Amino acid sequence: NGLFVLVLIWSSRSRQKNEPPLDKGPIPWLGHALTFRKDAAKFLAKMKTKHGDIFTLRVAGKYVTVLLDPDSYDAVLYDSVCLDNSQCKNQLLKRIFSLQLPNIKPTTERRWMEQHFQGLSLSRLSISMNTNLQNLLLNDWKGCSPTEWREEGLFSFCYSLLFRAGYLTFFERRNDATAVYKEFRKFDDLLAKLARCSLKRGKTVMSTQERLWELLSSNWSSEESESNSWQQSYRQFLQEEGVDAEMQNRALLLQLWTTQCNAGPASFWLLGFLLTHPKAMEAVKSEIRGLTLQDRLSTPVFDSVLSETLRLSAAVLISREVVQDKILRMANGQEYHLRRGDRVCLFPFLSPQMDQDIHEEPQMFKYDRFLNEDKTEKKIFYKDGKRLKHYTLPWGAGGNVCVGKEFAVTAIKQFVFLVLTHLDLEMCDREAKLPPVNPSRYGFGIVQPDGDLKVRYRLKKTQHE
């Protein structure tokens, strides 16, 4: 009954002066956890209508302040004194990857990542990615004729190609990309449940995880890998940070997930939007037509299509632990007290990305939303007459902004251009619509579809004449 008393104390929290509206939800202790898990986007949109741009919810014993005013995001993103990212991150690493890396300093890790995903490494990785994509897409027609239509779901087509090409790029294995992809998809499907602890750690989870650790580590010590490869260097980094061999293997799965889980699904939405919006498809095709590889660096129409795709599909939940009491000053001058031990979350998907005060008809895909009339990038957006700094935030912002952004953009562009220039690609049913979003994926990066979009493809005639 000690626990019972604790629960009562928790339940008895009430809103203090200067605190955001408090909503404890229908169930003691659990609060809003169940509705939150089911569909975070729908639930938080409802809370926004009820309480406004800031409110505190009880979620599984924890108090979470949700901030939905993009103009006030910087007060959270750039505060590393009162707010801390590593506690939330470590909790997820443990839950999802059974991984503990407590001794690695976030700044050291960030520096390592910047060195290995950006600058000189970036061009090396991008060249390798392009080669791998080309090989998989154009040369790998195992036993079937490239002139005949092949039918597949667009999601599995995109995810499988980008995953395998990315895996070959970062992990430099030759033989097992397809096996790793299959196992990874099983793991990816369990991910949301693992993160929310709503899945018992039964046999399936353990065996999928263990199988992936095994697959990833089997080449770990292989002499085939060059000593300066990305994964070798990662291992060295972990060793220097004092991480033991077991955790090194587990960390590889984390890296596999971080580097591979978003680009495939993003490419699916992008090609899916193009296939279901013929005007957009034509605009992109006519931009690509006649461009040389060099010219392809400047592609404002494609860039707008990508930004619009990410606006509609990128739904990361950015979380920080409040490690010191904080006064949060909103852009409108209002001040709120945040209590130590609580959590703060930003959900850019709801605002700015789906905010109707910023983006007209936010549910609609408009390929030229991020394009000015003179075909330059549109960067000026307003809310309530005020120009916004953050009008879309697919990559996060501040100290934890996506390290792989440039690599991801280049990879998606390479893939889409390869598909559009080398393949005939069409929907099996011309009237088909994009499948809906799987609502349990809100909060974990690029959302995934519930179901798939059947397409058929073959090599263009010019490719095999």
Site residues (vs ligand HEM, CB under 6 A) = 110, 113, 117, 258-259, 262-263, 266, 310, 314, 316, 318, 394-396, 400, 402-404, 407-408, 445-446
**CA torsion angle 261 266 271 272 (round to 10):** 100
State the nearest-atom distance from the C-beta of 86 to ligand HEM, in Å.
Answer: 9
State the nearest-atom distance from the C-beta of 121 to ligand HEM, in Å.
Answer: 10
State the nearest-atom distance from the C-beta of 383 to ligand HEM, in Å.
Answer: 21
Q: Nearer to ligand HEM by C-beta: 99 or 459? A: 99
State the nearest-atom distance from the C-beta of 167 to ligand HEM, in Å.
Answer: 11
Q: Nearer to ligand HEM by C-beta: 118 or 334? A: 118
State the nearest-atom distance from the C-beta of 29 to ligand HEM, in Å.
Answer: 26
Q: Nearer to ligand HEM by C-beta: 101 or 310? A: 310
How far apart (Å, rounded) are the C-alpha atoms in residues 376 and 400? 28
Q: Is 296 exposed, middle or buried (0-12, 13-18, 19+ CB in 10 A)?
A: middle
Q: Nearer to ligand HEM by C-beta: 51 or 62? A: 62
Q: Nearer to ligand HEM by C-beta: 44 or 459? A: 44
Q: Nearer to ligand HEM by C-beta: 365 or 407? A: 407
Q: Nearer to ligand HEM by C-beta: 251 or 459? A: 251
State the nearest-atom distance from the C-beta of 40 to ligand HEM, in Å.
Answer: 14
Q: Are the C-beta atoms of 11 and 24 separated by less than 8 Å?
A: yes
State the nearest-atom distance from the C-beta of 239 to ligand HEM, in Å.
Answer: 19
Structure tokens at 259: 């580097």
State the nearest-atom distance from the C-beta of 262 to ligand HEM, in Å.
Answer: 3
Q: Nearer to ligand HEM by C-beta: 304 or 458? A: 304
Concatenated DSSP letters for 157-218? HHHHHHHHHHHHHHH--SS-HHHHHHHHHHHHHHHHHHHTT-S---HHHHHHHHHHHHHHHH
Q: Nearer to ligand HEM by C-beta: 229 or 258? A: 258
- DSSP 8-state code for residue 290: T
Q: Are the C-beta atoms of 411 and 127 separated by less than 8 Å?
A: no
State the nearest-atom distance from the C-beta of 158 to ligand HEM, in Å.
Answer: 12
Exposure class string for 209-235: b at 16+ Cβ within 10 A, else e: bebbbebbbebbeeeebeeeebbeebb
How far apart (Å, rounded) are the C-alpha atoms in residues 182 and 185? 5
Q: Are the C-beta atoms of 36 and 8 separated by less than 8 Å?
A: no
Q: Are the C-beta atoms of 100 and 339 separated by less than 8 Å?
A: no
Concatenated DSSP letters for 27-71? BTTTBTHHHHHH-HHHHHHHHHHHH-SEEEEEETTEEEEEE--GG
C-alpha distance from residue 125 to each of 128, 172, 229, 263 (Å): 5, 11, 10, 15
